[in-house]
Amino acid sequence: MRWTSILAIYVLFWTMSLFLVLPFGVRTAEEAGEASLPGHAESAPHAFRFGRVLARSAALAAGLTALYVANYVYGWITVDDLDWLN
């Protein structure tokens, strides 16, 4: 597998991971013990840390990419294994 293919797979996993980890660790103003500002939704995050979300997403994407490449190299799960109808 070429490194450009691995990079493309990493970017796909990173995008998926970003949306997956986005709601974790987010606290509302009420949960943080602060007053909600007028005009904001009650469910709005109190302090959104984008760097933390990016780091979590990058770590998860790296792990998923490593598993994908390892499966490609060692052939643990093949297309024939996913054919449940036959």
Looking at the predicted structure, is the pLDDT value of residue 86 above 80?
A: no
Which residues are bridge partners to 45 per DSSP? 28
Tell me what pLDDT residue 20 has.
Answer: 96
Q: How large is the average pLDDT for residues 70-75? A: 96
pLDDT-based confidence at residue 65 (cuts at 50, 70, 90)? very high
Alpha helix positions (H), 1-86: 3-21, 29-32, 50-74
Contact 79, 35 (CB under 8 A): no
For the chain, the domains span 3-82
pLDDT tens digit sequence for 1-58: 899 999 999 999 999 999 999 989 888 888 888 888 888 888 888 888 899 999 999 9
